Chain A
Amino acid sequence: MLMLWLIGVPALAAILEYALGRRAPVVTGKIAIVGAACTFGFALDLLRSVLQHGAVSAAANQLRADALSALVASVVSCVGFFAIAYAYPYLGREVREGHLAAEKLPAYYALSLTFVSTMTAVTVTNNIIMMYVLVEATTLASALLVTFYGTPKALEAGYKYLLLCSVGIAIGLLGCVVLYASAVPFVGGIKGMEISEIVRVAHNFPPLTVLVGTLLVIIGFGSKAGFVPFHAWLPDAHSQSPSPVSAMLSGVTLKVALYAIARIATIFYPGHGALGIFCIVLGAVTMLFGIIVAFNQTDLKRMLAYSSVSQIGYILMGLGLANYLGFYGATYHLLNHALDKSMLFLCSGVLLYACGTTNMDELGKRKHSALLAICFFIGALAISGVPPLNGFWSKFAIYTAAAQAHMWWALGVAMFTSMLTLAVLVRAGYTIFLQEPEHGSEDVAHLLDKPEPDAVVDAPYPAGMMAAIAAMCVLIVISGMNLRVLHHAIDQSVQALLHQMAGG
Chain B
Amino acid sequence: MASSSVMYISLLMIVTSFLMVEWRQLTGAIYTYQAQSVLIALTFALYAHSLHNPALYFWAVTALVSKGILVPWLLRRYVDKVHPVESEPMLNPILSQVIGFTVVTVVFWWVFTNHDRLVVLPSLAGEPYRMNLAVAAAILVIGFYSLLTRRDAFKVAIGLCLLENAIHLSLVSLAPSIPETAMIGVVTDVVISVWLLLYIIANVYRVTGSVDTFNLRNLRG
* A residues whose Cβ falls under 8 Å from a Cβ of B: 127, 129-130, 132-133, 136-137, 139-140, 143-144, 147, 150-153, 155-160, 162-163, 166-167, 170, 173-174, 177-178, 180-182, 184-185, 188-190, 192-193, 206, 208-209, 212, 235-236, 239-240, 293, 296-297, 302
Size of the chain B interface, CB-CB below 8 angstroms: 39
Contacts of A144 in B (CB 8 A): 196, 199
CB-CB under 8 A for A184 and B186, given A153-B218, A153-B219: no
19 residue pairs bridging A and B, Cβ less than 8 Å apart = A132-B186, A132-B189, A140-B189, A152-B207, A153-B219, A159-B153, A159-B204, A162-B200, A163-B160, A170-B163, A177-B175, A181-B177, A182-B122, A190-B179, A209-B120, A235-B219, A236-B219, A293-B221, A296-B221
Q: How far is the CB of A96 from chain B (nearest CB, A)?
A: 24
Among the listed B164, B171, B207, which residue makes an inter-chain contact with A177, where contact means beta carbons less than 8 Å apart?
B171
Closest 10 CB pairs of A and B: A189-B177, A133-B185, A129-B182, A181-B175, A156-B216, A236-B219, A136-B189, A209-B120, A155-B204, A208-B120
**B177 and A130 form a contact (CB under 8 A):** no
CB-CB under 8 A for A133 and B219, given A127-B182, A170-B167: no
11 additional contacts (CB under 8 A) given A181-B121, A181-B177: A133-B186, A143-B200, A152-B208, A153-B218, A155-B203, A155-B208, A157-B219, A160-B219, A167-B163, A177-B174, A184-B175
Interface residues of B: mostly helix, strand, loop or mixed?
Answer: helix
Contacts of A240 in B (CB 8 A): 219
Q: List B residues 190-206 near A (Cβ within 8 Å).
A: 192-193, 196-197, 199-201, 203-204
**A209 and B121 form a contact (CB under 8 A):** yes
Contacts of A157 in B (CB 8 A): 219
Q: How far is the CB of B172 from chain A (nearest CB, A)?
A: 11
A273 to B197, CA, bound (A): 39
Interface centre among B156, B167, B203 (most CB of A within 10 A): B203
Among the listed B164, B200, B213, B218, which residue makes an inter-chain contact with A158, where contact means beta carbons less than 8 Å apart?
B200
A139 to B197, CA, bound (A): 11
Contacts of B221 in A (CB 8 A): 293, 296-297, 302
* B residues whose Cβ falls under 8 Å from a Cβ of A: 120-123, 147, 153, 156, 160, 163-164, 167, 170-171, 174-175, 177-179, 182, 185-186, 188-189, 192-193, 196-197, 199-201, 203-204, 207-208, 213, 216, 218-219, 221
CB-CB under 8 A for A137 and B177, given A152-B207, A206-B120: no
Q: How far is the CB of B74 from chain A (nearest CB, A)?
A: 14
Q: How far is the CB of B145 from chain A (nearest CB, A)?
A: 13
Q: How far is the CB of B187 from chain A (nearest CB, A)?
A: 10
A170 to B163, CA, bound (A): 8
Interface centre among A170, A192, A193, A297 (most CB of B within 10 A): A170
A129 to B208, CA, bound (A): 38
**A212 and B120 form a contact (CB under 8 A):** yes
Contacts of A156 in B (CB 8 A): 204, 216, 218-219
Q: How far is the CB of A484 from chain B (nearest CB, A)?
A: 40
Among the listed B147, B174, B179, which residue makes an inter-chain contact with A181, where contact means beta carbons less than 8 Å apart?
B174
A293 to B221, CA, bound (A): 8
Q: How far is the CB of B54 from chain A (nearest CB, A)?
A: 13
**A185 and B182 form a contact (CB under 8 A):** no
Contacts of A236 in B (CB 8 A): 219
CB-CB under 8 A for A180 and B196, given A151-B207, A152-B207, A296-B221: no
Contacts of A302 in B (CB 8 A): 221
